[in-house]
């Protein structure tokens, strides 16, 4: 029992220390007033996104950067995605649409779509966005500025998450929770070690010359978590990569209900642990079972100490990610329960080879 309590408290303190580092180092994209004129190719893979795509296209048209082109890859959608994009492109000269071809057997859908988009792009920078996002002013200038001053091959941003339903609020905050108390994200840029890597496919900005030379999405063509894999490849090839929080300049509503959130997160959860089932089980046990053991001791000092660290942890993460701190503190037990469910489903899908997304087997 003493060993279990000691390990639990060490784990909590370690995660708390990582959160403090992330909070103090403030890893956010800095807004800049300087304007750039580099051509930015905004590349959007879209599959069955009729409910989202028009919001993104409109927001791009309304943002403040002028030197851009937008190419949408309609990945064999079965809804009105293609029709909506074609109509928008017809009225806006900087926008165009590609009708997707059949997916090759060795590729995953999004990776292939991004690869095809890169072949059509003409820009000095390639910016890959997901179709369920909205961009805001200052985003592209600030991102291009960051690319130049840090001589980056890749800049990735974790978008601010929009959550409207209760199901979203008990699941979606897990994205920033896991990010900000597991990895000191400033180290992605500061260290040359390729193992220290993460990224978010919601925003991937590449130096186009470097991308064309390496064809990053082709190298990661069969990877479920292609964003992190590409960041590893970038760093392993001795280019600079950086990961930051979006600081209100791009937002995303990842899922619109509880079921979609659980299915979406369980698609990637095990991949984030390099498909190690023991690793994800140990993490869940330390995260969930450990605090329960501490509570069972009925030692009020230990309990208050543990709860205090968890509350401060959630408070700092919420502030850093632009989320509601009170919601995340109150809903923490439900979010942890859902993390267990997500981990279980991810393991089940991996073992039974039934992992799929948008009608395709992964």
Domain of 194, in residue numbers: 40-256
Give yes or no for residue 224 having a pLDDT over 90. Answer: no
The answer, yes or no, to whether residue 362 has pLDDT greater than 80, is no
Structure tokens belonging to residue 269: 């959860």
Question: What is the Cα–Cα distance from 75 to 355, expressed in whole angstroms?
Answer: 19
Decide if 65 contacts 59 (C-beta within 8 A): no
Exposure of 122 by Cβ count < 10 A (0-12 exposed, 13-18 middle, 19+ buried)? exposed
User: Which pLDDT belongs to residue 87?
Assistant: 97
Residue 361 lies in a domain: no
The reply to whether 216 and 248 lie within a common domain is yes
Is 360 part of any domain? no
Which residue among 194, 225, 256 closes a domain? Answer: 256
Judge if pTM exceeds 0.95.
no
Strand partners, 82: none
Provide mean pLDDT across the span 18-47. Answer: 95
With a cut of 70, say whether residue 359 has pLDDT above it: no
**Strand arrangement, sheet containing 95-99:** 95-99, 68-74, 40-46, 125-129, 203-207, 152-158, 240-245
pLDDT, tens only, 226-253? 999 999 999 999 999 999 999 999 999 9
Segment 273-323, tens digit of pLDDT: 878 899 899 888 888 888 888 888 888 888 888 889 999 999 999 999 999
Q: Does the pLDDT at position 272 exceed 80?
A: no
Q: Which of 107, 129, 105, 106 is nearest to 117 (CA)?
A: 129
Residues 156 and 275 grouped into a single domain: no
Give me the number of domains the chain comprises.
Answer: 2
How far, in Å, CA of 290 to CA of 282, rounded? Answer: 10
Residues 160 and 304 placed together within one structural domain of the fold: no
Residue 14 near residue 179 (C-beta atoms within 8 A): no
Q: Encoding tokens for residue 62?
A: 């309304």
Look at residue 298 and tell me if it is in a domain: yes
Q: Can you tell me whether residue 27 is helix, strand or coil?
A: coil
- 124 and 213 inside one domain: yes
Structure-model confidence comparison of residues 141 and 359, the more confident one: 141
- What are 78's two structure tokens? 């079965």
Residue 273 inside a domain? The answer is: yes
Residue ending a domain, choose from 256, 273, 298: 256
Do both 203 and 98 map to the same domain?
A: yes
Q: Are residues 234 and 284 in the same domain?
A: no
Report the pLDDT value the prediction gives residue 60, as an integer from 0 to 100: 97
Question: What local confidence, expressed as pLDDT, does residue 137 receive?
Answer: 92
30: pLDDT strictly greater than 90: yes
Name every residue whose Cβ is closer than 8 Å to that of residue 24 and which is 6 or more positions away in sequence: none
Question: DSSP readout, 157-223?
Answer: EEPEEP--SHHHHTTTTHHHHHHHHH--TTHHHH---TTS----TTEEEEEHHHHHHH-HHHHTTT-
Decide: residue 333, CB within 10 A, 0-12 exposed, 13-18 middle, 19+ buried: exposed
Question: Encoding tokens for residue 66?
Answer: 């002028």
Mean pLDDT of the chain: 92
Q: What angle do CA 218, 223, 225 make, to 5 degrees?
A: 120
pLDDT at residue 174, as a whole number: 95
* CATH number, domain containing residue 145: 3.90.550.10
* 46-92 tens-digit pLDDT: 999 999 999 999 999 999 999 999 999 999 999 999 999 999 999 99
> Is 107 within the bounds of a domain?
yes
In 10 A of CB 9, how many CB atoms? 17
208 close to 123: Cβ distance less than 8 angstroms: yes
346 plus 312 within the same structural domain: yes
C-beta separation of 56 from 132 below 8 A: yes
269 and 121 belong to one structural domain: no
Q: Is the pLDDT of residue 355 over 80?
A: no
Cα 256 from Cα 164, distance rounded (Å):
8
């Amino acid at each position: 029992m003493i060993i279990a309590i000691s390990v639990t408290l060490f784990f909590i303190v370690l995660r708390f220390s990582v959160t403090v580092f992330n909070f103090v180092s403030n890893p956010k994209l800095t807004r800049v007033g300087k304007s750039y004129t580099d051509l930015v190719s905004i590349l959007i893979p879209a599959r069955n996104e009729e409910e989202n795509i028009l919001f993104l296209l409109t927001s791009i048209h309304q943002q403040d950067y002028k030197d851009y082109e937008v190419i949408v890859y309609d990945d064999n959608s079965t809804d009105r995605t293609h029709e909506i994009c074609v109509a928008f492109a017809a009225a806006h000269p900087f926008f165009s649409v590609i009708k997707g071809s059949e997916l090759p057997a060795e590729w995953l859908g999004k990776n292939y779509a991004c690869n095809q988009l890169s072949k059509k792009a003409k820009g000095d920078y390639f910016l890959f966005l997901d179709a369920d996002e909205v961009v805001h002013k200052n985003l592209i200038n600030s991102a291009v500025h960051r690319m130049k001053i840090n001589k980056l091959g890749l800049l990735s941003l974790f978008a601010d998450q929009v959550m409207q339903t209760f199901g979203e609020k008990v699941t979606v905050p897990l994205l920033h929770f896991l990010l900000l108390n597991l990895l000191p994200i400033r180290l992605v840029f500061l260290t040359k070690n390729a193992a220290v890597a993460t990224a978010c496919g919601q925003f991937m900005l590449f130096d186009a010359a470097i991308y064309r030379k390496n064809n990053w999405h082709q190298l990661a063509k069969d990877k479920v978590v292609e964003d992190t894999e590409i960041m590893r490849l970038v760093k392993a090839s001795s280019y600079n990569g950086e990961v930051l929080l979006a600081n209100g300049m791009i937002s995303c509503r990842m899922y619109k209900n509880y079921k979609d959130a659980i299915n979406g997160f369980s698609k990637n959860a095990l991949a984030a642990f390099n498909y190690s089932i023991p690793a994800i089980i140990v993490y869940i046990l330390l995260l969930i079972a450990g605090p329960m053991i501490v509570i069972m001791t009925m030692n009020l000092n230990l309990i208050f100490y543990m709860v205090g660290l968890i509350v401060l942890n959630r408070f700092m993460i919420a502030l850093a990610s632009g989320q509601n701190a009170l919601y995340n503190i109150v809903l923490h037990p439900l979010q942890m329960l859902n993390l267990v469910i997500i981990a279980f489903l991810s393991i089940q899908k991996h073992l039974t080879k039934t992992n799929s997304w948008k009608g395709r087997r992964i």
